[in-house]
Structure 1
Amino acid sequence: MITSAISQALRTRGDERAVLCRIGAGGGVLDELASLRLRPDDLLLDLGTHPVGEPVLPGGGTGGDGGRPAVGLVAVVAASLTDLRRAVTLAAHLPRAVHLLVAVAHIPGHHGGLAPSPPGIEEWNDLHELRVRRAEKGGWVCELFFPSGTDVAPALAAVFHGGRGRRRGPGSGIRAGLHGPQAHLWSPGDPEATPVGPVGPVPLIRVTPAADLVLRTEEGASLPLWEDVAVPALDRSTTGADSWESRVDTDGPAAALKVRGPDPVSAVAPIDERLVNPMGFNKRTKGPVADLTVDGSRAVIRTDGDVLVTVPADGGLTDVDLDRIRDLRVVRVDWSGHAGPAAAVRAVASLAAGGVPLVSGPVPAWAAGLGQPLTDLLTSAEEEDMLDGLAREEHSIRLRRAALRAHGRRTRWRALAEEAGIPVVPDPLVSVVLCTRRPDLVGFALAQVARQRHVRFEVVLALHGFSASLPPVEEAVRGFSALGHAITVHEADGDKVFGAVMNEAVDRASGTVVAKWDDDDWYGPEHLSDLMLSRAYSGADVVGISQNFTYLQELDLTVWRSYRSEFPNAQVVGSTILTDRVVLEDVGGFRPLPRAIDSQFLLAVRQAGGRIYRTHGLGYLLRRAGAGHTWEVDLGYFLRNHTKQWSGWRPNSLMEGEAEPLGRAAPHTEHSGGHS
């Protein structure tokens, strides 16, 4: 289907020139492009190997429009969505296209198709025709026709984001300039990344440089002196320059990774967290065991003699690669040989960010680019531990946290900016909105919030029908403030319905992100940061968790139900909802109802075309007492279809126990039984 679509496009493009591009691992439809009948002035281009900063066609510039010529057809064929994201960055070199054909050879089922989302007001008024089709073997084809031509990079970004939700994820706040081979790996999916020459200058947008920071890559030879005094530049080696072959005459494979900066992590190209992430995580524990090892000259993931994935030479795995190994119970990391230190680090970091359970022997010194937290985690579990479903998921979550925080694109560019002395935008402020009718639980609830880490937060405490001057409330608020956390207290009329009080609380919030919080449930110390990570990689308007752990207070019993997680789904726990404030504004806030405001909010988001994502549920434990819940179901609901149960209060290890209530201890917090 993909090859046929391109053949048809070549026949109908008239007398105009065609540029056919491919990117991603070779094989199948990607190699078939070379067999098509092309005219002498047509161009067949491997985007993945094209150095950033070098024009594709004669007369083409390196930034902005740059005098780029227009052609009748541009076709971009990617092996995966990850490769399509890389093509977005490289497409700044491509000419404007009257007919743009975008094809992806395989898209995993948990992703959407290639139906584009228009980029902005009036930008696509010239769109004449749009076609979207499924292709064989999970592929998709999208064709767009613009009589006056269109810029390829923003159009590719629009095609990608159409199937991935309206939100494009938080940016780094740094406009990137790129030069050199593999430079696109440093800023995948960025249509605003500016190609530059080896010495500059950075192109201007009117009177302002198009980039804040330039990242130059080198393949062994030293780069010339950077000449643009207005924009700083940092240099990094490609994975090819860091291969073992290039180092055998110096310090050999046992040497530590060479870096120019103080942090070896910042020497490694980041992973693309929008696609290399835990989405599609499989909780099965009966799958096979595989090895990340070497087969000939290439790193592979192999089980029982079968090669499941051939790791790209640069070490960057794709969403398709992750989809192929989701059924594996665990992957053992073999450090005996890889393409080189940087490629090996990128491969392991990609697997960890994808939530793939990994185990390893001692990590060699040359893999310091992983970062110490991830290095420690690789050796913290044994293969036998992965036979237990809960232990396997806990290990996966720890790995993905460490990898996404250390190796995500946003994290890397903020670190590069700090190295170059460029100020970075503060992390988003999360406003935790807590509405309660129970003064004796205020100290308990605030203690849960106070121990959150890896996130900036404030609290808006809505007291529904009672005064902040009550001793337990006053003491708890004072204790929370003494820890250095910001808190706003709102005394709401007890006659107002729950939804109205929540809207009043949101109105008093200062953050751009709002998180809903219950007064009597337990939250792990990384609950908010996990939600913020999933907000970044899912592109969803709302994120929340599945209801996995429940403490049945009447029975003194903890129940675990291993629900599916890490996929788009509207069934999330109301007390774990996290969303951008603008989303609340888009749907008119919470409905003024006494109960069911969470389900009604989620319904409104879906009706407005929003995307809801369910991440893992191991950082939250629901308390179920006898009465007083807005969600009324009997205890049998929690006892049916459970995976495991324990006597007493038994949180999983990611909960890290419980916090001591602030102020006067509340009697409702008493429990018995086991501990993590």
Structure 2
Amino acid sequence: MITTALRDALRARGTETALLCHTGAGARAHLDGLPLAPSDAVVDLDARVLGEPLELRDLWERDSGPEAGLVAVVAATPADLHRCLAAAADLPRAVQVVVAVVDTPGHQEPPLPSAPAMGQWRELQEMRVRRAGRGGWLCELFFPNGVETPQVLDAVWFGTRGRRRGPALAPLAALSGPEAALWRPGDTGARGIGAAGPVPLRRVTPVGDMALRVGEGTPPEWTDEAVPALDRRTTGVDAWERIAAPGGAEVRENAGPSDIAPVDELTVNPVGFSKDASGPMGDLTVHGDRAVVRQGKKDLAVIAPDGSVTDVDLSRMRHLRCVRVDWSGHTGPTAAVRAVASLAAGGVPLVGGPLPAWATGLGAPLADLITAADAEGLADPLRREEYSVRLRRTALRLHGSRSRWRELGALAGVPVPPAPTVSVILCTRRPDMVGFALAQIARQRGVDVELVLTLHGFPASLPEVDAAIAEYRATGRPLVLREAPADRIFGSVLNDAVASTSGDLVSKWDDDDWYGPDHLADLVQARTYSGAELLGVGQDFVYLQEVDLTLWREGRSESSSRFIAGGTILTDRAVLEETGGFRPVPRSIDTQLLIAVMRGGGRIYRGHGLGYVLRRTGGGHTWSEDMAFFLRNRIQQWFGWRPSALLEGEPAPFGRPVTEYTGELR
């Protein structure tokens, strides 16, 4: 179907120049046999050397620049389309743009592009989005006058994520050399430059805050005194065939994570993770001349020579219990490290035994996790998911593109924007639970936390409350204290608390539940890759206090969802403004917020629930479900309080010891 659509597009363009591009394994085959004119060109975006001009003939010369009659891009997967956007940044304007994606993972939304906000598409004549085969999509746009092709590609890809783009890559970068696009996936603002510089100006300002030069030999002397440059090597420099050749390359045994092209966390992430631990083991190994993930005699995924892994690759191995890493193969050391880091970032449980010296680019924390993994232990679904969370958390922190560029910016001496701050809103009616709740918040790590504590119906002067607040403030974390009258409606109390926050993000907290020390950090990380307006976790772990029983319940995690635990909500301040905040009602406040987000076209994302335990007593909750509701759909149960290992136990409460509490529960 894709080839047929391209043939029709070539026929419709008349005598105007067409540019046909491809990216990802197998995408080139869809361009075979097309009737090309002498002035047409076929471009492999994966092989583009940024900084070298794109040689095209017979383009229209418009006031706005060169213009083609047709630009078509065929991508094997959404990950390939996103990765190539930096390489596509200098594609010419076009009156017809065709974007084809050969295959997509099951969780992806249709690629429905949204028009840019400055009127660039007001003359749009026609747009068609249709299926291409079982898992592919075809998007065609027609304009009377040429539009920016990279902008169209960007809009098509982000159509698969909804409205929210997530944190931008910073600092701005200019790129040079082969494989440079690997370092800035999805960045249509990155500009190709010559290897010696300088970085061009846009009016009076350089188009990049720093430059990254990727190559194989000694780079030329850098000529731009205003913009710093860093140098990195391609993945082919230390390919095994070069190392094995007479006088060949040396193995980079002292490489660190910052020497490795990053993982594109917007496409390579744990979305779609399966809790099923009954599947077979796969192998990351070599079959023929290719690195593959193999199950028995079947190749589930073929790893690109540069080590790139796609979202479709991950979806094809979600049923595996784990993947065993064969360190003896792969294209070369750097490519192998990229592949392993990508699988780990996707939450694929990995086992591999002792790591070779050349795998130092993984980083010690990630290497230690893989080395200590036990394949037999991963047959237990809880242990498997706990290990997967540790892997993905560590890999995304060490190898995600946003964290990588913050590190590169620091190496180049370029300031980067601060990480988002989180304001936690805690509203409680129970003085005896204040110390317990503050202890949970105080041990949060990996995020900058502000606490807005609202005492609903009692004063801060109570001894146990005053002691808990003093101990929390001794940690050095900011605390905003509020008191609300007992008769003020709960939803209004929450809105008043939000008005007192100063953080970029707002998280709701319950006073009686347990939270692991990485609860907030994991949600902030998921906010980066999920594209969701609101995030939280499910009630995977529930402690039934009446019968002293802990349940681990079924339920998908790392997926879009209509329901999350209200005590785990994390969202942007702007989302609360757009949805009207919490409704001024006494019950079902959290559910009403979720409904408002969905009604406005927003996405709700459910992260893993292993760092949260919902406490349930006999009654008095604003969410009314009896004990039988929680006993259904349980995977395992234990007598006593038995959380996931990711909770890391229970912190000692601030103030007076928590006793069996009484009074109305929220």
TM-score (norm 2): 0.97
Correspondence 1:139 to 2:131: no
Correspondence 1:568 to 2:560: yes
Correspondence 1:247 to 2:243: yes
Report SS of the residue matched to 2:198.
Answer: coil
Q: Distance in 1 between matches of 2:372 and 2:661?
A: 32
Equivalent residues of 2:23, 2:44 under 8 A apart: yes
Q: Distance in 1 between matches of 2:609 and 2:184?
A: 31
Q: Distance in 2 between matches of 1:402 and 1:669?
A: 37
Q: Which residue type is aligned with residue 307 of structure 1?
A: D
Correspondence 1:20 to 2:12: no
Equivalent residues of 2:163, 2:602 under 8 A apart: yes
- 1:352-398 Cα shifts (integer Å, max 9, x gaps): 01111111110111100001111011022211111111011111111
Shift of 1:39: 0.2
Shift of 1:186: 0.3
Shift of 1:66: 11
- 1:599-654 Cα shifts (integer Å, max 9, x gaps): 10010011111111111110100000122311111111111121111001011100
Return the match for 1:99 from 86, 90, 96: 96
Shift of 1:316: 1.0
Report SS of the residue matched to 2:89.
Answer: helix
Equivalent residues of 2:537, 2:564 under 8 A apart: yes
Equivalent residues of 2:39, 2:57 under 8 A apart: no
Change (3 A) 1:358 1:97: same
In structure 2, the residue matched to 1:531 is 523
Return the match for 2:153 from 148, 152, 156: 156
Q: Distance in 2 between matches of 1:517 and 1:556?
A: 23
Q: Distance in 1 between matches of 2:135 and 2:373?
A: 35
Shift of 1:258: 5.3
Return the match for 2:253 from 251, 257, 269: 257
In structure 2, the residue matched to 1:209 is 206
In structure 2, the residue matched to 1:38 is 36
Shift of 1:169: 1.2
Correspondence 1:226 to 2:208: no
Equivalent residues of 1:553, 1:623 under 8 A apart: yes
Shift of 1:469: 1.3
Map 1:464-475 to 2 at 5 A: 464-475=456-467
Report SS of the residue matched to 2:432.
Answer: helix
Equivalent residues of 2:550, 2:638 under 8 A apart: yes
Equivalent residues of 2:238, 2:252 under 8 A apart: no
Correspondence 1:363 to 2:351: no
Shift of 1:251: 9.2
Shift of 1:515: 0.5
Return the match for 2:111 from 92, 114, 118: 114
In structure 1, the residue matched to 2:3 is 3
Gaps of 5+ in 2: none
Equivalent residues of 2:39, 2:56 under 8 A apart: no
Equivalent residues of 1:107, 1:113 under 8 A apart: no
Correspondence 1:588 to 2:585: no
Correspondence 1:346 to 2:343: no
Correspondence 1:48 to 2:46: yes
Correspondence 1:412 to 2:404: yes
Correspondence 1:421 to 2:431: no
Map 1:455-534 to 2 at 5 A: 455-534=447-526
Q: Distance in 1 between matches of 2:247 and 2:575?
A: 54
Q: Distance in 2 between matches of 1:447 and 1:258?
A: 41
Q: Which residue type is aligned with residue 618 of structure 1?
A: L
Q: Distance in 1 between matches of 2:217 and 2:189?
A: 28
Report SS of the residue matched to 1:290.
Answer: strand
Shift of 1:520: 0.3
In structure 2, the residue matched to 1:303 is 295
Return the match for 2:637 from 630, 645, 649: 645
Correspondence 1:72 to 2:69: yes
Q: Which moved more, 1:280-289 or 1:388-397?
A: 280-289
Return the match for 2:311 from 306, 319, 323: 319
Gaps of 5+ in 1: 671-676
Report SS of the residue matched to 2:145.
Answer: strand
In structure 2, the residue matched to 1:674 is none
Q: Distance in 1 between matches of 2:261 and 2:4?
A: 36
In structure 2, the residue matched to 1:193 is 190
Q: Distance in 2 between matches of 1:165 and 1:71?
A: 29
Residue identity (%): 56
Equivalent residues of 1:59, 1:67 under 8 A apart: no
- 1:133-176 Cα shifts (integer Å, max 9, x gaps): 01103100011112111111121111111120211111233111
Equivalent residues of 1:17, 1:41 under 8 A apart: yes
Return the match for 2:265 from 273, 280, 285: 273
Correspondence 1:283 to 2:281: no
Return the match for 2:384 from 370, 384, 392: 392
Q: Distance in 2 between matches of 1:613 and 1:293?
A: 33
Report SS of the residue matched to 1:386.
Answer: helix
Shift of 1:249: 5.7
Shift of 1:296: 2.5
Q: Which residue type is aligned with residue 35 of structure 1?
A: G
Equivalent residues of 1:108, 1:320 under 8 A apart: yes
Shift of 1:253: 9.3
Q: Distance in 2 between matches of 1:442 and 1:250?
A: 69
Shift of 1:225: 0.9
- 1:296-324 Cα shifts (integer Å, max 9, x gaps): 32211112122211110000100011111
**Number of matched residues?**
660
Shift of 1:199: 1.4
Q: Distance in 1 between matches of 2:84 and 2:303?
A: 19
Q: Distance in 1 between matches of 2:142 and 2:469?
A: 60
Report SS of the residue matched to 1:91.
Answer: coil
Equivalent residues of 2:17, 2:57 under 8 A apart: no
Q: Distance in 1 between matches of 2:16 and 2:587?
A: 62
Change (3 A) 1:243 1:466: same
Q: Which residue type is aligned with residue 112 of structure 2?
A: A
Q: Distance in 2 between matches of 1:271 and 1:494?
A: 50
Change (3 A) 1:120 1:36: same
Q: Which residue type is aligned with residue 4 of structure 2?
A: S
Shift of 1:57: 2.8
Q: Distance in 1 between matches of 2:499 and 2:554?
A: 36
In structure 2, the residue matched to 1:444 is 436
Report SS of the residue matched to 1:376.
Answer: helix
Change (3 A) 1:668 1:196: farther
In structure 1, the residue matched to 2:166 is 169
Q: Which residue type is aligned with residue 531 of structure 2?
A: G
Report SS of the residue matched to 2:651.
Answer: coil
Q: Which moved more, 1:166-175 or 1:596-605?
A: 166-175
Equivalent residues of 2:111, 2:137 under 8 A apart: yes
Change (3 A) 1:401 1:223: same
Q: Which residue type is aligned with residue 656 of structure 1?
A: E
Report SS of the residue matched to 1:92.
Answer: coil
Shift of 1:338: 1.8
Q: Distance in 2 between matches of 1:119 and 1:435?
A: 40
Q: Distance in 2 between matches of 1:548 and 1:542?
A: 18
Report SS of the residue matched to 1:247.
Answer: helix
Q: Which moved more, 1:122-131 or 1:460-469?
A: 122-131
